[in-house]
Structure 1
């Protein structure tokens, strides 16, 4: 919304809760409590500036839980989530259903609830990814300076709170909305990665499609909330920073689309998304 390699881990306390050093894995985990039902805890570590858990974070947690229920169906290919009401940090439950088991593609759904009320509904497709299938790329990765030569929001005073403490960003320059001078162009190019360069899985790719500030902020808008988000997950990225292209082209009666492309450091498209969002300013 508004918008492993196995390693030995230490344990530490973060915000009064015992977690592993792999905050992303911990915060998107869930446990089975009955057939088709899973329990999870949403944390404020992924909050937006509005004080609510980020929509991409919700999608990652739901997708990981649903994948565990369709074990053996392959990797997630497409995930489409509708947000029903604002989430809160705290306990939640995921109800899952396998809709169809096909020869090549499996379809399943999940509904996230808190206190018996629906928060988000997800439909996802899963499949194996055999090598050798036809692959052609007709687009181009964003042209960006090397990440170490880019603007670091945290080094320039942005507080590492909520999602801005969990995802690292590098931009060619400070965005206009952050300096009080919106550019008028609702688009953005940037590098991003999970904090510390943590290896990215498919749910994390889905998260990164909705982890940065909405580009409509460059036309003077301050609050945009996602209504529906669809993510296509093409391949896992090479280790390192992920180049990100965001843009909005249509704003109609307070609703707007937002398109996102994620490219790895080898110039391969790894994920793309489109969302419908509503302005609340």
Structure 2
């Protein structure tokens, strides 16, 4: 979904008090006729004025988990057709595809007034235990407590900026109008105020930070398709060390690979998305 940012962080409208809106804003409501609805709020808007795609994925994943007898997510793949409009009510349709003994697969469709907005296919694992071997390493980042809060340096608290906290070891080149040419980003992220990270929040954080393609001077990007592989939840919640990179830009499309790690150096999730430059 839309992830564009401006060269300099400046006022985007009236700031609102920072509040923990995450649980209520990703929760669908079931009507008497069984219809699931989701209120589309501007609290998760990017600076382009559209809801963040990570928030859309989190809400759809939560709907699948709340309405179907599945285990924990193993993979979720979402294709975005159009952005929901803030202030509208979207409809969710959850369709079990196969509820097997080891893997349960569910489709979720999001639409508004008969217009399709997104489709997610997710597979879940129930009571599955197997070997684990980690061959990678978390990004080397300073303690987040030692890094400045961008919101105290002028970043507004409306929209997505007020829902997610960021800590970066250095100011990104794109933020000063001097992109570095290296489309790689490492940073700490967490839900505002340290709200506990659940599975939908893991999905959200794979698509909630400034896209690294901005270091190529490309300031506006829209996600077309996003796939997330889920590994585990953080043991203590809180800060998530994140690494995102782009290696290929072709005819206006680019990929973005991501990794999320907890503060103990344990891999939480991997992601890959296809996005289009605007």
1:199 paired with 2:210, answer no
Aligned mates of 2:20, 2:73 — CA distance in 1: 22
1:8-55: CA deviations, max 9, x gaps?
xxxxxxx99xxxx64101000112236774111011000011000000
Question: Residue 187 of structure 1 aligns with which residue?
Answer: 184
Query: Shift of residue 127 of structure 1?
Result: 1.2
Aligned mates of 2:33, 2:227 — CA distance in 1: 27
Question: Residue 84 of structure 1 aligns with which residue?
Answer: 81
Q: 1:196-275 residue pairs with structure 2 within 5 A?
A: 196-238=193-235, 239-275=237-273
Flag the structure with more relative contact order, 1 or 2, with Cα contacts below 8 A and sequence separation at least 6: 2
1:92-149: CA deviations, max 9, x gaps?
1001100011110000101100111000000000112445x20100000000011122
Aligned mates of 2:65, 2:78 — CA distance in 1: 15
1:53-108: CA deviations, max 9, x gaps?
0000000001101111213x211111100000121112110011000111100001
Aligned mates of 1:237, 1:145 — CA distance in 2: 18
Question: Residue 160 of structure 1 aligns with which residue?
Answer: 157
Aligned mates of 2:127, 2:76 — CA distance in 1: 16
1:2 paired with 2:2, answer yes
Question: Residue 166 of structure 2 aligns with which residue?
Answer: 169
My pick for the range that moved more, 25-34 or 167-176, is 25-34
Query: Shift of residue 152 of structure 1?
Result: 2.3
Question: Residue 11 of structure 1 aligns with which residue?
Answer: none
Give the TM-score of the pair, scaled to structure 2. 0.91
Aligned mates of 1:191, 1:129 — CA distance in 2: 31
Question: Residue 12 of structure 2 aligns with which residue?
Answer: none
Q: Does the 8 Å contact 2:38/2:89 carry over to 1? A: yes
Aligned mates of 1:192, 1:221 — CA distance in 2: 22
| CA separation of 1:215 and 1:67: change in aligned 2, threshold 3 A | same
Q: Does the 8 Å contact 2:81/2:116 carry over to 1? A: yes
Question: Residue 60 of structure 1 aligns with which residue?
Answer: 58
1:23 to 2, 21, 24: 21
Q: 1:103-182 residue pairs with structure 2 within 5 A?
A: 103-131=101-129, 133-182=130-179
Q: Does the 8 Å contact 1:190/1:244 carry over to 2? A: yes
RMSD of Structure 2 on Structure 1 (CA): 1.6
Aligned mates of 1:36, 1:78 — CA distance in 2: 26
Q: Does the 8 Å contact 1:81/1:123 carry over to 2? A: yes
Question: Residue 44 of structure 2 aligns with which residue?
Answer: 46
Give the TM-score of the pair, scaled to structure 1. 0.90
Alignment coverage as a number of residue pairs = 263
- Unmatched tracts of structure 1, length 5 or more: 4-14
Question: Residue 6 of structure 2 aligns with which residue?
Answer: none
